[in-house]
Every structure is written in structure tokens, then in C-alpha cells.
């Protein structure tokens, strides 16, 4: 009758001393716990010597064609440490994640926030100063932050498939007023920095009328994805829609690597919104020196020259002839749009609500 | 045998269970209330987006319920009028399969038939119609009907088959036409179940998470459950999450009260259905056959398509991928741990409730004790998760504790099922021999070993199987607490659907399906013993 009991097995377990009663068992159990504990302590002491730097970033940064593998190899060669990239499912998600984890976070460095999120991120009190020399930085804007290290930049743009769309809109206004059968794919401004970028792009062009513009845009939005990768790779490149929110630099990759001019960015007459991607050190990190070494490394020639064809962005420093020739063929924005980071911090929630409100109608 | 002198108090098993439930559900609820004191509820209700989310939740649940119930009636009637045909029992058993098939797995199947490149859309296009989008409200409704229409049909069928033979004989003697039989015999039987099954389906659709996450989720099709998840995981907007959680709490409580005041006993789905002799319908076979065939096609094609398409060029890569393997082992751990905890809490509650009922004659107290285990019906998993988040975040890295929290939530989610399965058998195990046992002075462990365990091992095996399978297929808890460090198969599957990797999703879905079937049958066999032994 008892044979079905799964724990019957332990009755004949050789671990049990034949003469010992319950007490004896408890004692040997206690002894083995102590032994295990000692072993664990010992092994963690050994592990502690092998330093690991944990970096939270977005998924496409760590993909096999992204900068992750190159950067990891180069940095590990100089630091005698392990560089561990933790890919999160979206870029704005990085900030959300460290906020959720608070000071218990495992991250030493966050990589992939942008100019728009800087003030919000700094206000969390979770970040430490970078102590990095940013004098070599060459951006369309002057760099003054002592917390964030800018590693690359680009302009948001709608990329289109020339085989599906012969004449793309030439301005945001034209896109907003285009016939509803022109389908576009965008990203969610709550989870994705390009998504937030478009929200601010529309805001800086339309101001108080932004909600009306979004209302007109609604029927043209095929879908709103969580992150950039799904929108670009899974949907746009598979022909699900002729236009996708991406960067003015995206065609550079297709021209240089795929050797095709099929995918182009549409130049908009109102100007393009700038994104500078940044990294920062966490206050809770126990590896601050190593973290700062990594942040400085991000401005090194090795790191910077890897970016154009892996992260497909302009490097944040002047790398001269190392910039691929294809990058000279990219559209140049007539004017550069950027809303001050503090203004974004103060209004982001409200603007997101406005977008959610229009998008849910 | 010297241990028989120790007599544990009757309230010990139930007390321990109540303590566990209080810790797992009560503390997070308090944390939620505490956090809520920082916000003004009126602002939350007045926010246009929140209002739209609340009304969408109600709207889609009402539509889903109406569609499921209305479509189930002709199916149940057709099945009751055709008591004998090949595959009938199999088809009816398929109706309760939703207990074993994880929602997210079925969704992959539904998408492979009704999605952009699925069979149904190709047929539509061949006949010159516009293609149909599975995403948004229509997809949510389709999936809700897929799960709940069979449930309603089964309940109606059972009611139809419980109609006494005399009524049919009388109808035949009087020569009543088909329309009068429907009006006088069949409709009253269906109507008696209508309110009960409607409120049950409404409750299920109102708190639906996985279906809305995968097929809706955009700003236009978001329910309260999903909006809470998004507020936490997209926005780090704790205020909105807490506010929506409280609204959900209030609405779920209202639904629970409605369910109880209707006094429904519709979920007898676990008992067998007896065949009646309703063979009086000489005509209408073609029509009945058509209805049954359409329903069977609707239910079976997504599963068949899923299994067929799971074998694709990506299969080997997916199965051997380190992520898949670690997710599979996490799923197994979560399933077994949550299942074991749910069963332990359920047995504890039922043993003490039985003592209250049989020895102390306190029926209502016994009933109240059982109700404690249904707490998750009032506090949906995402709401509970939000509470746990707020409770634990100041003290620990919530994502490192991910699996432990998921086990806790999933065990509470399975508990109502365990209680329902065990209630009858626990009482029966005592009713026959309770006086004898009492007069012999057998209690505590010996009583459990000699009397209860032999009677209960089958239902315990069954409830362990059901609760482990439920936990293995759940997405709601792991969606909140999962990360790239800790994933289960449902989360991995969700991510693969989300990034539109169809081949990988199909294979992962079938892997999860196999795991659930294996858990379901092996646990029943290992714990419950051989069938009919």
C-alpha cells in the first residue's frame, strides 16, 4: 500500500547510518550543511578575485552583428576582467529596470540611455559621476554632463523601402496628411528610445497641436512595437510595411554591408530630432574603478571605430577616415531638433499620457 | 507505534495553510493599501486613459461572454440531439482540455490558423475577401471564444442530458414538433445554467491576461490586468499600477459577490456525462452534423496546425538552445513546487474544514475556511504581483527572487482548483468510518495513513497534476518577475511571439505542450497509482 509513496526510497538510503536514530541524522545533516556552507564561502572567495563588470544594455547592442562581441573582446584584453552584457528587451526599459531594482541592482553600468532620458535618470539618485575626460567628444551639441558619457549619436528618421514606396513624404506634415493606406511601423515611447524620440519630434514640430497630429497619424500606424529590433528586423525587413521609424544612419549599413541602396531614409523639411546615446555608472556598483575604466574605454578609438557598422550610428568622437565612406551619402538634416532633457523630465509623463490617450481611441 | 500518543490539534493543518495564505496574499495586499494612501483615487478614475482601459476591459468581457454563450447553445443542442456518432466522446473530452493546454500555447495555434498567413486568411483571400487581422479586439474575442465556448457547451450539454427520460417520452407520445420540444424541454434546461456560466466566463475574460498581452496590448486593446503590468514594467509608474490594482480588486470582489449570490453550481465539468436516449429527432441530422463539424474544426485545426508546423528548420536549434533548456528546467521546478504547495495548503484547509463540519457541526465556519483558499479569485495574479513588488523591493533584488515569487503566486492560483477537487473526497473519506475511527481513538498521522491517504491518493494525484500543469503554463506571474536571467517556457514563448520569430515560437509551444501533458499524466499515475487499482 505504501509502495507508491515517492519518499519511500529514502528509507533505504545508504546515507543513513544503521544505528543512528533521529538525533544522529539531524547531527549529520547539520554537519553537512556546515561543510557545504564552508565550500560555498570558499568558492565565492575565489570568484571574487575574478572581477566581473555587469552592463545593462538593449538587445541589438549585444547581438552577434552588434558592437557587443567586438567591444567585449577588446575591453577584456586590457582589463583582466569579465565584461558581462545583460541584454534587456528595450532601451527605455534599461532605466525602468534599474528603477525597479533600486539599489539592489546587479548592474555596474547602464549603456543605451539617451539625451531625452538623462535628466529623468539622474533624478533617480541611482547614478554616480563618471569622472571621464569628455574633451575629445565631437557632437552636434556641446557636452557638459559629468554623469553621462556619450558614445554615439544619430538622427531619427523614417526609413523606407524604395521598392515598395517610390516617393516618400518629404516632411512630417506630409506624412501626417498622407493617405491612410501608407503604413508605418513605430515603437512604443514607453519602452523604446526611438519611440520616445518620435514623440518628442512630433512635439517639437507641432507643440500644443501634437495630439491632433497623432490623431491623423493613427490610421497609418500598422503596429507599435516594444523595441526597435522587432520593428526593423522582424517586420520592416520582412516587408510588413513600407516605412519604419529608425535612424538616418540605417541606410549606411545596407549600403556598406548588404551593398544595396534599396533602403533609404526620408529627409523631412522640418528637421530631424537628435539622439545622443549615453552610458553611466551606478552609485550602488561595488566595481566603480573598473566601471569608470570601461566608460573611458567607450571614447577610445577602438570602441568608437566599431560603432558605425555595428551599432549603425555616428561615433561621438572624430574618427577621421575610419568613418565608412557610405556615411557621407546619408541625408543631412536641414535643422537639428532637440528638447532640453530637463523639459523632457518635467513633461514626459504628461506627453506619454497624451499619446496613450490618442492611441487608445 | 509509540508515536500514536501524540495528537495534533484539529486546527493545525488548516491553521498552517491559513498562515501561509495570509503571508502570501495578506502582506502584499497591506503593502498595496499602504502605498495607495499616497494617491487620490478620484484622479485615477478621472484619467481618460484609465477610463478607457476600464471600459475596454468590461466591453471585451461582455462581448466575449455573449459570443461564447450564444455559440455554445446550438452546439450543445446539436450534440444532445446526436447522442451517437464516431468521436463524440473524444470531442466532448476535448472541450475540457483547456485545463491542460496553456493559454499561450493555444494562442500560437490560433495565430497559425487565423493569423496573417494562416489557413483561414488564405481561404478568405482566395474568395476575394479582405484579410482578417488577429491582433486587436477581434483577436481577443476569437481566443476567448476558443477557450470559453466549449466550457459553456459542456455545461449546457450536461444540463440537457440530465433531463429526465419521462419528459422525452411524454413529448414523443404527444407528438410535439421540434420547435415545441425546444421551447418546453431544451430551453428551460439551458436557461437554468445561463446566469451561472455567463458570470463565470465573464470573470475569466475580465481578468484575462495572456490573451490580451499577446493579441491585444497595444494602447487600443488593453485591459486592466495588462495596464497594471505595463505601468510597472514599461513606465515604473507605481502610482498608476497601485491605483489600477485597487480598481481591479474592487471589480473582482463585485464579480465574486455576484457569483455567490447566484449560487451557481455550474462547474461540475469534472464529473462524467451520461448518455441519454434522446434519439427522437429523426430529422435535422445534416444541420446538427454541420454545427458539430464547424465547432470541431474550430477547436481542432489550431492544435493540429501547431503540432504539424512545430517541425521546421528551426526545431533542432530551438530544442538544444541553452535558453530553452534552462527555461524548461525552470518551468518544471515552478510547476512541481507550486503544485506541491497548493496541494499541501488545500489538504490542510480541507482536513480542518472537515473537522469543523463533522465533529463540531460548524458548517458555515468550515465553508468560510475553504473560502480563504479562493483569495486569488478576488486578488488576480498581477494585482498580487504588484503588492509583492512593493513589499519586497526595498529589501531585496526582486528579479533575483523571481522564481520563488512566481511559485508563491502560482500556488495560490492553483489552490481554488485543488479545493474543488478535494472537497468531496475528503468528506467521503470520513463519512463512512468517522465514528469507528473516533471510537478506536485513531487520530493524527496513523489516521491519515490508514484511512485518508488510501482514499485521497487519487484526488490528490489529480489535484497535483492539475495545479502543476496550470503553473507550468502560466504567463502572468513570470511576466512581472521574469527577466533575461530567469525565464520559464511561457515567458520565452511570449518573447519569441513578441519578436515575430514564428518558427521558434511554434517549436517552443509544442515543447511546453508536451511538458504539460507529461506532468499531467505522470503526476496522476505516480501519486494516484494505477487507474482503478
Instruction: Characterize B445-477 residue by residue with b for buried, 16 or more Cβ atoms within 10 angstroms of its Cβ, and e for exposed.
Output: eebbeebbbebbbbbbbbbbbbbbbbbbbbbbb
CA-nearest residue to A86 within chain B is B484
**Hey, are the CB atoms on A223 and B135 less than 8 Å from each other?**
yes
What percent of chain A lies above the pLDDT cut of 70? 86
Q: Do domains B47-309 and B312-528 have the same CATH topology?
A: yes
- Give the distance from residue B235's alpha carbon to the nearest chain A alpha carbon, in angstroms: 6
Place of cell 515611447: A189
Choose among B203, B259, B211, B201: nearest CA to B70: B201
**Hey, are the CB atoms on A361 and B222 less than 8 Å from each other?**
no
B393 contact A CB<8A:
yes
> For residue B183, what is its C-alpha cell?
421551447
A125 & A222 share domain: no
Choose among A126, A359, A57: nearest CA to B230: A359
Return mean pLDDT, chain A.
Answer: 85
Please provide the CATH number assigned to the domain covering B312-528: 1.10.3720.10
Q: Determine, yes or no, domain membership for A255.
A: yes
Q: What is the pLDDT of residue B129?
A: 79
Strands A272-282, A336-337: pairing is: parallel
**Hey, are the CB atoms on B484 and A86 less than 8 Å from each other?**
yes
B59 contact A CB<8A:
no
Choose among B221, B264, B206, B212: nearest CA to B380: B206
Please tell me the distance from the alpha carbon of residue B185 to that of residue B167, in angstroms, as a whole number: 7
**Hey, are the CB atoms on B500 and A96 less than 8 Å from each other?**
no
A286 & A352 share domain: no
- Give the distance from residue B120's alpha carbon to the nearest chain A alpha carbon, in angstroms: 19
Q: What is the pLDDT of residue B275?
A: 44
- Give the distance from residue A126's alpha carbon to the nearest chain B alpha carbon, in angstroms: 14
DSSP state of B231: I
Please tell me the distance from the alpha carbon of residue A113 to that of residue A98, in angstroms, as a whole number: 12
Residue among B48, B235, B501 minimizing CB distance to A96: B235
Q: What is the pLDDT of residue A19?
A: 35
Residue among A97, A105, A360 minimizing CB distance to B220: A360
Report, in angstroms and rounded to the nearest whole number, the Rg of chain A calculated over CA atoms.
26
pLDDT tens for B41-77 read 777 778 888 888 999 999 999 999 999 999 999 999 9
Q: Is the pLDDT of residue A34 over 90?
A: no
A161 & A132 share domain: no
- Give the distance from residue B119's alpha carbon to the nearest chain A alpha carbon, in angstroms: 18
Number of domains in chain A: 2
- Give the distance from residue A319's alpha carbon to the nearest chain B alpha carbon, in angstroms: 34
What are φ and ψ of residue B478, in 5° steps? Answer: -70, -25
> For residue B252, what is its C-alpha cell?
473582482
pLDDT tens for A61-77 read 988 788 999 999 999 99
- Give the distance from residue B71's alpha carbon to the nearest chain A alpha carbon, in angstroms: 29
A vs B: CB pairs below 8 A: 85
**Interface with chain A: mutation pick from B232, B233, B453, highest number of A CBs within 10 Å:** B233
A213 & A124 share domain: no
CATH number at residue A196: 3.40.190.10
A177 & A325 share domain: no
Chain B residues in contact with A4 by the CB 8 A cut-off are 457, 526-527, 529
Which of A214-223, B370-379, B503-512 shows the lowest mean pLDDT across its residues?
B370-379
Q: Alpha helices, DSSP H only, in B432-452?
A: 434-440, 444-447
Q: Is the pLDDT of residue A23 over 60?
A: no
pLDDT tens for B492-531 read 999 888 777 788 899 999 999 999 999 999 998 898 887 6
Residue among A106, A191, A234 minimizing CB distance to B499: A234
**Hey, are the CB atoms on B234 and A95 less than 8 Å from each other?**
no
Contacts of A361 (CB under 8 A, 6+ apart): A215, A218, B52, B220
CA-nearest residue to B218 within chain A is A224
Place of cell 529608425: A246
Q: Is the pLDDT of residue B344 over 70?
A: yes
A224 contact B CB<8A:
yes
Please tell me the distance from the alpha carbon of residue B486 to that of residue B402, in angstroms, as a whole number: 7
pLDDT tens for B301-336 read 999 999 998 888 888 888 888 889 999 999 999 999
- B45 near B122, Cβ under 8 Å? no
The sign of the torsion formed by the CA atoms of A259, A260, A261, A266 equals: negative
In the structure, what pLDDT confidence band is assigned to residue B281 with cuts at 50, 70 and 90? low
The whole-angstrom distance between residue A174's C-alpha and the CA centroid of its chain comes to 30
pLDDT tens for A165-176 read 999 999 999 999
> Is B1 in a helix, a strand, or coil?
coil
**Interface with chain A: mutation pick from B235, B244, B458, highest number of A CBs within 10 Å:** B235
**Hey, are the CB atoms on A224 and B219 less than 8 Å from each other?**
yes
**Interface with chain A: mutation pick from B47, B48, B137, B231, highest number of A CBs within 10 Å:** B48
Q: Determine, yes or no, domain membership for A40.
A: no
- A121 near A95, Cβ under 8 Å? yes
Q: Name which residue leads in pLDDT, B489 or B356.
A: B489
DSSP assignment string, A188-216: -TTT-HHHHHHHHHHHHHHGGGHHHHHHH
Q: Is the pLDDT of residue A295 over 60?
A: yes
452-491 in chain B: CB under 8 A from chain A: 454, 457, 483-485
Q: Alpha helices, DSSP H only, in chain A?
A: 22-49, 59-62, 68-79, 92-101, 118-123, 172-176, 193-206, 210-217, 228-229, 250-256, 288-297, 301-310, 341-359
Q: What Cα–Cα distance (Å) separates residue A202 from each residue in A19, A171, A196, A213?
A: 80, 11, 10, 8
Please count the residues of chain A.
361
A173 & A140 share domain: no
Please tell me the distance from the alpha carbon of residue B16 to that of residue B12, in angstroms, as a whole number: 6
Which of A45-49, A101-105, B226-230 shows the lowest mean pLDDT across its residues?
A45-49
A180 & A237 share domain: yes
**Hey, are the CB atoms on A224 and B236 less than 8 Å from each other?**
no
A177 & A240 share domain: yes
Q: Determine, yes or no, domain membership for A76.
A: yes
- A284 near A278, Cβ under 8 Å? no
Q: Determine, yes or no, domain membership for A6.
A: no
Choose among B9, B7, B15: nearest CA to B349: B15
Q: Is the pLDDT of residue B257 over 80?
A: yes
> For residue A261, what is its C-alpha cell?
541602396
Q: Is the pLDDT of residue B287 over 70?
A: yes
A107 & A135 share domain: yes
Chain A residues in contact with B53 by the CB 8 A cut-off are 360
**Hey, are the CB atoms on B529 and A359 less than 8 Å from each other?**
no
> For residue B520, what is its C-alpha cell?
499531467
**Residue A221: strand pairing partners:** A184
- To the question of domain B47-309 being in CATH 3.90.79.10, the answer is no
Q: Determine, yes or no, domain membership for A214.
A: yes
Q: Is the pLDDT of residue A57 over 50?
A: yes
Q: What is the pLDDT of residue B5?
A: 53
Q: What is the pLDDT of residue B6?
A: 66
Contacts of A346 (CB under 8 A, 6+ apart): none
Choose among B144, B5, B126: nearest CA to B72: B144
CA-nearest residue to B51 within chain A is A357
**Hey, are the CB atoms on A226 and B398 less than 8 Å from each other?**
no
**Hey, are the CB atoms on B52 and A357 less than 8 Å from each other?**
yes
Q: What is the 3-state secondary structure (H, E, C) of A132-181?
A: CCCCCECCCCCCCCCCCEEEEEEEEEEEEECCCCCCCCCCHHHHHCCCCC
DSSP state of A266: E
Q: Determine, yes or no, domain membership for A64.
A: yes
Helices B381-392 and B27-36, interaxial angle, to 10°? 80
Q: Is the pLDDT of residue A291 over 90?
A: yes
Please tell me the distance from the alpha carbon of residue A290 to that of residue A82, in angstroms, as a whole number: 11
B500 contact A CB<8A:
yes
Which of A316-320, B173-177, B492-496 shows the lowest mean pLDDT across its residues?
B173-177
pLDDT tens for B435-480 read 777 788 777 777 788 778 888 888 999 999 999 999 999 999 999 8
Residue among A95, A234, A356 minimizing CB distance to B49: A356
In the structure, what pLDDT confidence band is assigned to residue A28 with cuts at 50, 70 and 90? very low
**Hey, are the CB atoms on B499 and A230 less than 8 Å from each other?**
yes
A81 & A141 share domain: yes
Chain B residues in contact with A95 by the CB 8 A cut-off are 236
Return the H-helix or E-strand segment holding A85. strand A82-88
A350 & A237 share domain: yes
Residue among A4, A234, A355 minimizing CB distance to B457: A4
Strands A243-247, A314-315: pairing is: unpaired
Q: Is the pLDDT of residue A268 over 90?
A: yes
Q: Determine, yes or no, domain membership for A122.
A: yes
Choose among A102, A99, A88: nearest CA to A59: A88
B237 contact A CB<8A:
yes
Choose among B70, B68, B57: nearest CA to B145: B68
Residue range of the domain that includes A339: 154-274+334-359
227-256 in chain A: CB under 8 A from chain B: 229-230, 234-235, 238
Domain boundaries, chain B: 47-309, 312-528
89-128 in chain A: CB under 8 A from chain B: 89, 93, 95-97, 99-102, 104-106
**Interface with chain B: mutation pick from A183, A356, A359, highest number of B CBs within 10 Å:** A356
Strands A314-315, A184-187: pairing is: unpaired
16-55 in chain A: CB under 8 A from chain B: none
Q: Name which residue leads in pLDDT, A14 or B494.
A: B494
Please tell me the distance from the alpha carbon of residue B5 to that of residue B141, in angstroms, as a whole number: 60
What are φ and ψ of residue A167, in 5° steps? Answer: -120, 100
A68 & A158 share domain: no
174-213 in chain A: CB under 8 A from chain B: 188, 190-191
Angle (CA) A238-A188-A185 rounded to 5° is: 30
Q: What is the pLDDT of residue B217?
A: 59
Angle (CA) A48-A54-A55 rounded to 5° is: 165
Beta strands in B182-311 (DSSP E): none
Chain A residues in contact with B135 by the CB 8 A cut-off are 223
Amino acid at each position: 500500500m505504501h509502495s507508491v509513496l515517492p519518499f519511500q526510497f529514502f528509507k533505504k538510503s545508504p546515507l543513513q547510518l544503521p544505528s543512528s536514530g533521529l538525533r544522529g541524522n539531524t547531527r549529520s545533516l547539520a554537519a553537512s550543511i556546515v561543510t557545504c556552507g564552508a565550500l560555498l564561502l570558499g568558492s565565492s572567495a575565489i570568484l571574487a578575485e575574478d572581477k566581473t563588470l555587469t552592463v545593462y544594455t538593449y538587445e541589438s547592442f549585444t547581438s552577434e552583428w552588434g558592437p557587443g562581441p567586438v567591444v567585449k573582446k577588446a575591453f577584456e584584453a586590457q582589463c583582466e576582467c569579465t565584461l558581462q552584457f545583460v541584454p534587456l528587451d528595450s532601451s527605455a526599459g534599461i532605466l525602468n529596470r534599474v528603477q525597479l531594482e533600486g539599489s539592489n541592482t546587479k548592474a555596474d553600468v547602464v549603456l543605451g540611455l539617451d539625451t531625452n532620458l538623462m535628466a529623468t535618470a539622474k533624478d533617480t539618485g541611482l547614478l554616480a559621476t563618471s569622472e571621464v575626460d569628455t574633451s575629445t567628444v565631437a557632437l552636434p551639441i556641446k557636452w557638459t554632463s559629468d554623469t553621462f558619457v556619450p558614445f554615439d549619436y544619430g538622427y531619427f528618421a523614417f526609413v523606407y523601402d524604395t521598392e515598395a514606396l517610390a516617393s516618400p513624404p518629404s516632411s512630417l506634415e506630409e506624412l501626417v496628411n498622407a493617405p491612410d493606406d501608407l503604413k508605418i511601423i513605430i515603437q512604443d515611447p514607453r519602452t523604446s528610445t526611438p519611440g520616445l524620440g518620435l514623440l518628442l519630434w512630433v512635439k517639437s514640430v507641432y507643440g500644443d497641436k501634437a495630439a491632433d497630429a497623432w490623431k491623423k497619424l493613427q490610421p497609418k500606424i500598422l503596429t507599435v512595437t516594444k523595441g526597435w529590433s522587432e520593428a526593423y528586423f522582424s517586420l520592416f525587413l520582412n516587408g510588413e510595411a513600407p516605412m519604419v521609424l529608425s535612424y538616418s544612419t540605417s541606410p549606411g549599413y545596407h549600403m556598406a554591408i548588404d551593398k544595396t541602396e534599396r533602403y533609404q531614409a526620408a529627409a523631412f523639411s522640418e528637421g530631424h530630432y537628435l539622439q545622443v546615446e549615453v552610458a553611466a555608472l551606478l552609485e550602488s556598483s561595488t566595481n566603480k574603478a573598473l566601471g569608470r575604466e570601461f566608460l573611458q574605454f567607450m571614447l577610445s578609438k577602438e570602441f568608437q571605430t566599431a560603432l558605425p557598422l555595428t551599432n549603425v550610428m555616428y561615433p561621438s568622437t572624430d574618427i577621421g577616415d575610419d568613418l565608412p565612406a557610405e556615411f557621407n551619402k546619408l541625408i543631412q538634416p536641414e535643422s537639428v531638433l532637440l528638447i532640453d532633457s530637463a523639459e523632457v523630465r518635467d513633461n514626459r509623463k504628461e506627453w506619454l499620457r497624451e499619446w496613450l490617450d490618442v492611441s487608445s481611441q | 507505534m509509540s508515536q500514536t500518543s501524540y495528537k495534533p490539534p484539529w486546527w493545525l493543518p488548516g491553521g498552517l495553510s491559513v498562515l501561509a495564505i495570509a503571508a502570501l496574499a495578506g502582506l502584499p495586499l497591506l503593502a498595496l493599501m499602504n502605498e495607495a494612501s499616497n494617491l487620490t483615487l478620484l484622479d485615477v478614475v478621472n484619467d481618460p486613459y484609465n477610463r478607457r482601459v476600464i471600459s475596454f476591459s468590461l466591453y471585451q468581457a461582455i462581448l466575449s461572454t455573449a459570443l461564447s454563450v450564444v455559440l455554445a447553445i446550438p452546439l450543445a443542442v446539436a450534440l444532445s440531439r446526436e447522442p451517437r456518432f464516431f468521436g463524440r466522446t473524444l470531442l466532448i473530452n476535448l472541450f475540457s482540455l483547456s485545463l491542460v493546454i496553456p493559454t499561450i500555447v493555444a494562442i500560437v495555434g490560433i495565430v497559425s490558423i487565423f493569423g496573417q498567413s494562416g489557413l483561414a486568411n488564405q481561404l478568405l483571400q482566395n474568395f476575394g475577401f479582405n484579410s482578417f487581422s488577429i491582433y486587436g479586439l477581434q483577436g481577443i474575442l476569437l481566443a476567448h471564444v476558443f477557450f470559453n465556448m466549449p466550457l459553456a457547451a459542456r455545461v449546457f450539454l450536461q444540463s440537457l442530458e440530465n433531463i429526465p427520460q419521462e419528459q422525452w417520452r411524454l413529448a414523443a407520445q404527444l407528438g410535439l414538433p421540434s420547435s415545441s420540444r425546444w421551447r418546453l424541454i431544451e430551453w428551460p434546461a439551458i436557461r437554468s445554467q445561463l446566469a451561472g456560466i455567463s458570470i463565470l466566463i465573464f470573470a475569466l475574460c475580465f481578468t484575462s491576461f495572456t490573451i490580451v498581452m499577446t493579441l491585444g496590448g497595444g494602447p487600443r486593446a488593453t485591459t486592466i490586468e495588462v495596464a497594471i503590468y505595463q505601468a510597472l514594467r514599461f513606465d515604473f509608474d507605481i502610482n498608476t499600477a497601485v491605483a489600477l490594482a485597487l480598481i481591479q480588486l474592487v471589480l473582482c470582489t463585485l464579480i465574486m459577490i455576484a457569483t455567490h449570490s447566484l449560487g451557481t453550481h455550474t462547474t461540475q465539468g469534472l464529473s462524467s456525462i451520461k448518455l441519454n436516449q434522446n434519439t427522437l429527432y429523426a430529422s435535422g441530422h445534416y444541420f446538427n452534423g454541420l454545427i458539430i463539424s464547424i465547432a470541431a474544426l474550430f477547436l481542432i485545426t489550431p492544435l493540429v496546425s501547431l503540432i504539424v508546423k512545430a517541425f521546421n528548420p528551426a526545431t533542432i536549434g530551438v530544442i538544444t538552445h541553452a535558453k530553452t533548456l534552462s527555461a524548461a528546467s525552470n518551468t518544471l521546478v515552478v510547476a512541481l513546487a507550486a503544485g506541491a504547495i497548493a496541494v499541501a495548503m488545500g489538504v490542510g484547509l480541507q482536513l480542518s474544514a472537515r473537522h469543523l463540519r463533522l465533529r463540531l457541526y460548524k458548517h458555515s465556519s468550515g465553508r468560510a475556511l475553504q473560502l480563504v483558499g479562493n483569495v486569488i479569485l478576488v486578488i488576480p495574479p498581477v494585482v498580487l504581483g504588484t503588492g509583492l513588488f512593493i513589499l519586497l523591493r526595498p529589501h531585496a533584488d526582486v528579479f533575483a527572487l523571481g522564481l520563488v515569487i512566481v511559485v508563491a503566486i502560482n500556488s495560490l492560483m492553483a489552490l481554488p482548483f485543488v479545493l474543488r477537487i478535494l472537497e468531496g473526497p475528503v468528506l467521503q473519506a470520513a463519512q463512512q468510518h468517522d465514528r469507528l475511527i473516533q471510537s478506536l481513538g485513531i487520530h493524527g498521522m496513523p489516521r491519515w495513513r490508514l484511512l485518508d491517504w488510501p482514499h485521497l491518493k487519487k484526488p490528490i494525484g489529480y489535484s497535483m497534476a492539475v495545479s502543476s500543469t496550470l503553473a507550468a503554463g502560466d504567463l502572468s506571474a513570470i511576466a512581472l518577475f521574469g527577466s533575461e536571467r530567469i525565464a520559464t517556457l511561457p515567458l520565452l514563448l511570449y518573447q519569441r511571439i513578441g519578436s515575430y520569430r514564428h518558427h521558434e515560437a511554434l517549436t517552443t509551444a509544442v515543447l511546453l505542450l508536451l511538458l504539460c501533458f507529461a506532468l499531467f499524466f505522470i503526476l496522476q499515475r505516480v501519486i494516484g497509482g494505477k487507474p482503478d487499482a
